[in-house]
């Protein structure tokens, strides 16, 4: 778990550099809430809290959730999402090793469905028009403590690349016109490509250390890129290219850090390929046709639900036992 936290450091550094210090407030709040909820839940279950608090697994949940949240989110929503992740996503099912769903994505999905406006307000990247560090730092602190400040939202927030893509397609803009918008400053959207490259670097670190295996990340990326590439070839004026899909939203964070959760993912080698490909295809489908700009959290939760069935048909037969 500590190695996973190390792998997340590049993502956190890039997010702070691009979107201001709001992420630091989210990380501190989510971490403190996660430790508190973990301790309370373990004591209520009659367990010794000290060993499980030291394994850092709950801090990984908190860090993944905080990195997925908008940096300008009010503190009470971060507390709510983290409590849902730890108490409902993890301990409701028996604690570490028993949860069928990724806890961080449970908390994120609950917040996204319940508070869609707050969960889609991201600051414009620093260095672009409207993005300056002192102003954004002050606004992040005010928003964290007090919630919405209507007079300042327009100055410091803007549509993400996936938001612009969805709105553009809905209005029948051509792909060339959409990519000419400021949110598409480069191949993944303004700022988004750098966050994804940082997550890719952290993911490669985990692969090199043997913390995660290659099958799930590769299958997720292939499952997302293949339909994107096919549909872009068929109609480039209506579908974003594979490079955009791979380096926008939470693609790399999801492929290397979220989908690879050893508890809620498929367990066999073949099963991991099916599981990861399913996440990629569902993510592309939701981004393209669904009601949310980035559907990775929902894709992970749906494939978490399918993981036992995948394992049933992909786990190798034990020698000496009849096949299914």
Q: How far is the CA of 272 from the CAs of 84, 212, 213, 279, 284, in angstroms?
A: 27, 12, 9, 11, 18
Nearest of 223, 218, 307 to residue 265 by alpha carbon? 307
Of 19-23, 24-28, 128-132, 245-249, give the range with the top mean pLDDT.
24-28
Mean pLDDT of 31-50: 87
Residue 57 vs residue 205, higher pLDDT: 205
Helices (H), 235-268: 242-246, 251-253
Output the pLDDT for position 158: 55
- Is the confidence at residue 309, as pLDDT, over 80? yes
CA 227, CA 35: separation in Å to the nearest integer? 40
Q: What is the pLDDT of residues 125-147, one digit of tens each?
A: 765 555 566 777 776 776 777 66
Q: How far is CA 53 from the centre of its chain?
A: 23
Residue 16 vs residue 316, higher pLDDT: 16
What is the pTM for the complete model shown? 0.85
Q: What is the pLDDT of residues 145-192, one digit of tens each?
A: 766 554 455 545 555 666 656 665 544 444 554 455 555 555 545 568
Least confident among 173-177, 196-200, 214-218, 231-235 = 173-177
Q: What is the pLDDT of residues 252-281, one digit of tens each?
A: 999 999 999 988 899 889 999 999 999 999
Output the pLDDT for position 243: 87
- Is the confidence at residue 228, as pLDDT, over 50? yes
- Is the confidence at residue 237, as pLDDT, over 80? no
Mean pLDDT of 221-229: 95
Output the pLDDT for position 189: 54
Placement of tokens 């096949």 in the chain: 323
């Amino acid at each position: 778990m500590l190695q996973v936290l190390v792998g997340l450091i590049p993502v956190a550094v890039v997010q702070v550099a691009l979107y201001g210090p709001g992420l630091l407030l989210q990380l501190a709040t989510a971490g403190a809430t996660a430790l508190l909820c973990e301790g309370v839940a373990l004591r209520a279950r009659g367990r010794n809290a000290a060993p499980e608090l030291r394994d850092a697994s709950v801090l990984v949940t908190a860090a993944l959730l905080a990195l997925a949240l908008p940096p300008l989110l009010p503190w009470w929503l971060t507390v709510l999402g983290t409590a849902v992740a730890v108490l409902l996503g993890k301990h409701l099912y028996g604690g570490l090793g028993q949860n069928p769903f990724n806890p961080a994505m449970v908390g994120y999905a609950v917040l996204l469905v319940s508070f869609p406006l707050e969960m889609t307000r991201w600051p414009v990247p620093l260095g672009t028009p409207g993005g300056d560090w002192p102003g954004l730092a002050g606004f992040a602190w005010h928003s964290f403590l007090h919630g919405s400040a209507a007079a300042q939202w327009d100055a410091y927030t803007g549509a993400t690349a996936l938001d612009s893509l969805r709105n553009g397609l809905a209005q029948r803009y051509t792909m060339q016109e959409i990519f000419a918008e400021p949110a598409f400053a480069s191949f993944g959207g303004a700022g988004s490509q750098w966050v994804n490259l940082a997550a890719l670097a952290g993911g490669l670190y985990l692969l090199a250390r043997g913390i995660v295996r290659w099958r799930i990340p590769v299958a997720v990326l292939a499952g997302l890129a293949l339909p994107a590439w096919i549909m872009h070839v068929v109609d480039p004026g209506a579908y974003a290219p594979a490079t955009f899909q791979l380096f926008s939203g939470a693609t790399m964070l999801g492929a290397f850090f979220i989908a690879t959760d050893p508890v809620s993912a498929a367990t066999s080698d073949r099963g991991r390929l099916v599981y990861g490909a399913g996440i990629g295809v569902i993510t592309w489908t939701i981004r393209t046709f669904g009601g949310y700009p980035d559907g990775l959290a929902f894709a992970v939760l749906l494939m978490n639900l399918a993981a036992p069935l995948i394992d049933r048909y992909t786990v190798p037969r034990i020698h000496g036992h009849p096949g299914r």
